[in-house]
Chain A
Amino acid sequence: MPAVNGRGLLALALLAVAGALALGLSLAVGSVPISAAQLWAALTGGGDPLHRELVLSLRLPRALAAFATGGLLGLAGALMQVLLRNPLADPYVLGLSGGAAVGALGAMLVGLAAIWVPGAAFAGALLSTLLVFGLAQGVGGWTPTRLLLTGVVVAAGWGAVVTFLLTLSPAERLPGMLYWLMGDLSYARSPWPAWLLLVPATLLVLPLARGLNVLARGPLQAASLGVAVRPLEITVYVLASALTAMAVSTAGSVGFVGLVVPHMLRLALGNDQRLILPASVLAGGALLTLADTLARTLLAPQQLPVGVITALLGVPTFLLLLYRSR
């Protein structure tokens, strides 16, 4: 194990507990409240069949999808910030969510069944990744600054296409599209693809994390300390793009988690990627699970876009941490 020191292990353990509590809460809360004992019975295959049905087929898949999406976004954001050596980077900074949005809205506009929307979003995100990476090559290879500028401009282009698609859309399809744009977990079909990517990706970044600590000191310094800079940067780029594409195709472009979760953790725990990367997975997952629970219960039966809740929870927390930091 890339052992993290005692304080780090404690932080990871606390975040894991927070994640488990958020998952438990999201299973218990809803139109039919379920007590802890009833929840335990349902999860272990006993109890009221109605409760079992409600928990296992309705709430559990959605809660797991929320957790995985949050984890994907937290990890992707932390990786992008190190790759671009820019604290303002988030998973969407390279235009990925724009490409995904064009794919998803395009599918909705031509009236494809909802089951096609995640696939279309994934294809759009992939297209955007290839486009940005290809354009950033330019003459003489890419640099983080060039990648960032290319990504920001391509994102602006996608933004215009999204607005154009919204203008073309018939009024009855607009609410669904807007919800998708703000992030909405009721689209999540199955949580498993997201988990199948999240778990191996988290295990893969752990041995890379110390190299990323060195890379944060600049490419020359990293190379002089024995880091194979270009292969590491490409691995991180591909990985962060895949994580984001999966998150977006699971739940739409949920904002805020990828930018703010890694920063909150840096303010609280320091800047060792060996701790920040796994912590971002847990904290991102816990935050989004909690936010999704609130989104579907606060004004029930009306559902709120989850992105609104992540921002409402995250903004004050982040500002408080920033205010108290040295």
Chain B
Amino acid sequence: MTVLTTQDLVIDIPGRASGRPLTLRVAPGQRWGVLGPNGVGKTTLLHTLAGLRAPRAGRVHLDDTPLDALKRRTVAQRLAVVFQDRQDGFPATVLETAMIGRHPFLSPWRREGAEDLARTQQALAALSVDHLADRLVTTLSGGERQRVAIATALAQTPAVWLADEPTNHLDLHHQVAVMKLLRDQAERGAAVVMGLHDLNLAARWCDHLLLLFPDGQHCYGPAEAMLEPGALARLYGQPLTMARVDGAPVFVPADPALGDPHD
């Protein structure tokens, strides 16, 4: 159980004004969605929360300790990042790739044991990529690689998930599967933060939302309160229409022929 908090945090995007500092508390069990238009800094925020980028101002705390006072290894034992894009320098198999999620738990002289192997195989099975274990990752499709990346984070058994576009490249079925998995993780006490570009996924699967506006402003709160068509239209600079399907709000771009519903 780990709480991730930020205190007057200003992320550092070169050439951009600082905007309003962010003070946020992500508690265990919560599923946060970070929404905003392209280039607003969703990825930069997630990297800053992970301690991979220095903030321009303010601090990030993991429980009561500032992130920069912790060793990278200690952070990695509690916090996992799913990156939006990844690089495969040299060919490696799916199993080897997911197994590096156990790296933070092993001392330099130790090799992965039976327990590490079991956790990794469970993680691969949870993402239904266990049948690909011996394939080289470079031979997989984009969606399969995305699932391997999430399995790697799952093998890391994190208390805090920072997932940047976790549904990238995934078909509808696997989008739902990944979102269910993150919900399960939250129900077991993980704190989950996802950067998302799909408003409807956020509406369906997140219980808290953080909206990042291009002018450096932000607002956040429980999802139901944040899903206000006017605010979302301003967020994306795109008029939206809301409907309810199966009880969940669904947003679609407004038909320009009908004019802006909020005019």
Contacts and interface: CB of A to CB of B under 8 A. Distances in A.
A228 to B, nearest CB: 6
Interface string A200-228: 00000001101101101110110111111
A218 B72 contact: no
Given A211-B108, A225-B76, A226-B75, A220 B90 contact: no
Contacts, number: 88
Interface in A1-50: 1-5
Interface in B33-77: 47, 50, 52, 71-77
B96 interface: yes
Nearest to B107: A207
B120 to A, nearest CB: 13
Contact of A224 (B81, B88, B91, B106): B81
Most chain-B CB neighbours within 10 Å: which of A3, A85, A223, A228?
Answer: A223
Interface in B94-131: 96-97, 100-101, 103-104, 106, 108-111
Contacts of B52: 220, 223-224
Contacts of A271: 90-92, 96
A211 to B, nearest CB: 7
Contact of A3 (B76, B103, B111): B111
Nearest to B111: A3
Nearest to A271: B90
B205 interface: no
A326 B108 CA distance: 31
Contacts of B157: none
B162 to A, nearest CB: 8
A225 B104 contact: yes
Contacts of B108: 2, 207-208, 210-211
B117 to A, nearest CB: 11
Most chain-A CB neighbours within 10 Å: which of B73, B75, B108?
Answer: B108
Contacts of A4: 111
Chain A binding site: helix, strand, loop or mixed by DSSP?
loop
Interface residues of A, number: 32
Nearest to B100: A214
A87 B110 contact: no
Nearest to B51: A223
Most chain-A CB neighbours within 10 Å: which of B74, B79, B104?
Answer: B104
Contacts of A225: 76, 100-101, 103-104, 156
A221 B103 contact: no
Contacts of B87: 85, 217-218, 221
Nearest to B47: A220
A253 B115 CA distance: 46
B72 A226 contact: yes
A224 B96 contact: no
A48 to B, nearest CB: 47
Nearest to B90: A271
Interface string B133-177: 000100000000000000000001000000000000000000000
Contacts of A2: 108-111
B76 A217 contact: no
Nearest to B87: A218
B262 interface: no
Given A2-B109, A220-B52, A272-B96, A228 B83 contact: no
B259 interface: no
Given A226-B104, A227-B72, A221 B110 contact: no
A266 interface: yes
B80 interface: yes
Contact of A207 (B90, B109, B156): B109
B103 A210 contact: yes
A112 to B, nearest CB: 43
A216 B72 contact: no
B89 interface: yes
B86 interface: yes
15 contacts: A2-B108, A2-B110, A3-B111, A5-B111, A211-B108, A213-B96, A216-B89, A217-B97, A221-B83, A226-B71, A226-B76, A227-B103, A228-B71, A271-B90, A271-B92
4 A-B pairs with least C-beta separation? A226-B76, A207-B108, A226-B104, A226-B73
